[in-house]
Structure 1
Amino acid sequence: MRIRIVDAFTDRPFAGNPAGVVLLDSFPGDDWLQNVALEVNHAETAFAHPLPAGGGADWALRWFTPTTEVRMCGHATLATAHVLHSTGRATGTIRFATLSGVLTATVAPDGSLTLDFPTAPLTPVDVPEGVEEALGAKILAAFDTGPDVGNPVMELADEQTVRALAPDIAALARTAERGIIATAAAQEPGGGYDFVSRCFFPNSGIDEDPVTGSAHTALAPFWSERLGRTHLTGLQASRRSGLVQVTHQGERTLLTGRAVTVIDGELHA
C-alpha cells in the first residue's frame, strides 16, 4: 500500500510539520496502526478510509504519535486533505469522522487548505509544580485547553523568551501531564505574524512538535481576545518553523495553511 510523508503548514519541503499519511480500505487492528506510526516516527501518522456515501462524513480519520493515539491533530489532517485532493480521491470540502467529531477541510483556488475545528475552551489554572523550572522560563499565566487539545497554554514574557527555550525534556515529562504550549506576542507587529509558539509533548513521544495545528484552536481565542482581532497568523518557532493562519469564530476555529508531499512510497507490512 502507499504511504506518503507530507510537510504541513508550509509551501516548501523540509519545513513545517511532517506527517505520515496512509489511505486504507478499512482500519486494521490498533497494534498495526501504532507500529506503523512508530516506524514512521514523525509527530503523527494519519490513517484514513472512505465511508459509505450519504452519511455525515466522507472519510474516517485517526492519528497516532510514535507512542499513542491522539484525539485531535491539525497538521496530519491538513496533510491527509492535501493527499486526497492532489491524488483526485476527493474534491471540494472533505468531512472527516474523528474522535473530535466531524472535522472539515476545504481547498481554495490558490491551493491552500482550511480546516474547521472546534475551538478549545480556555480555563485559567495554576502552573504545575516543577514545570517552570523544567521549561527554564518564567510563566506569566497558564490555561487548561480541554480534552481534545489536552495541553495547557502557558504565556511567556516575549517572543525572544519563546524562541530561546531549551527545556529539560526529562524533567518536563515528569512534571507536565502531557506537555505544554508556550506562547508570546510577536515582538514586531506587522512582521507577518501576530504571535509565536512552541510545543513540547514528551509524554506523547514528541519532545518538540514542529508545527501544531490543534494548539492553534487554543491560541486563536487566547490571542484574539488580547489583540482584538479574529483573523491572526501564528508562527510556530521550532527549528523547521511554519505559519498557521487562524480565524476565531466562537465555538469554531479555522486553520489555514499549505502542504507539500516530500515522499511517496510503498509500505510493505
Structure 2
Amino acid sequence: MNLFQWLKPAKRAKTPDLTPAQLQRLSQLPRATALSEKPLRQQRWVVLDLETSGLNMNSDEVLSIGAVVIEDGAIDLGQQFERTLLRPDHKLSPSVLIHGLGPSAIAAGSEPVEALLDFMAFVGDSPLLAFHAPFDQHMISRALKESLGYKLQHAFLDVAEIAPLLCPHACLRRAGLDDWTGFFGLQAEERHHASADALVTAELALILFSHARRQDIDSPARLEQCLAKWRRRQQSHSF
C-alpha cells in the first residue's frame, strides 16, 4: 500500500435506513447458538433454499426464500416459510422467468427488509441446512447485511457434504440434489422453486440423519466434527 492509498479515507458501509419499528424487531431477533450435543431428533433445523438472479455471489440478488422446519425428527409442515423479495416495479429477467416468478409473483413480492426480518424471526436460534450451503449462506448473509446491517452467525451445514460423508457407498462424486434424491428414490413435485427444493432437501436430510444415527453420529455437534474431518480428507486426496 502506498502513502496515497493509506491517506485515502476508507469507504464506509452504507447503513440501512430502517424505521423505529424495524429496528426494534431487529434488536429482538434471537442470538445464534452453538451446535448442541443433544440427539439429532431433538434439534430444530431450518432447511433453506434460495432462488437468485444468477450465480455471481457478489452481484446477483436473492429473488425468493423457501424454508421448512425439521423438528422432533420429522418435517413440520405447519412451519414453512416462503417469500418473494421483489418489488412490484422489479424488471423481469430471464432468471426470474426460469424460476417461475412471473408478474403475479412479483406484484405480491415482499419488501426485502420486512421479508428478511420475517425470515430471521422464523429461523430463531436454529441451525440451518441447505444443499450446496456455501452459496446459500453467502447470498442470504449478504442480503441480511445490505438490507438490515445484520451479521448472520448461525451454524450452516451442507447436505451436499453430509450425503457423501454418510453414504460413501453411493459413489456419487460432485452430485447434485437430483442425483441424491434419485439415489434414495425421492420424488420432487417441482424443482427450481425455493419452497419445493427446501422440502425435498429436508426429506433427504431426514434420511441422512437416520444413517448418521446408525453410525453413532447422533448430535449436531458430532455431525459438524465429522464433516470437518471429512473435508480435510477430501482436501488431502485432491493433492
- The TM-score range, normalised by the shorter chain, is under 0.3
Structure (1 or 2) with the larger CA radius of gyration: 2
Structure showing the higher helix proportion among its residues:
2
Structure showing the higher strand proportion among its residues:
1
Superposition TM-score, scaled by structure 1 size: 0.22
Q: Which has the higher contact order (CA 8 A, sep 6+)?
A: 2
Superposition TM-score, scaled by structure 2 size: 0.24
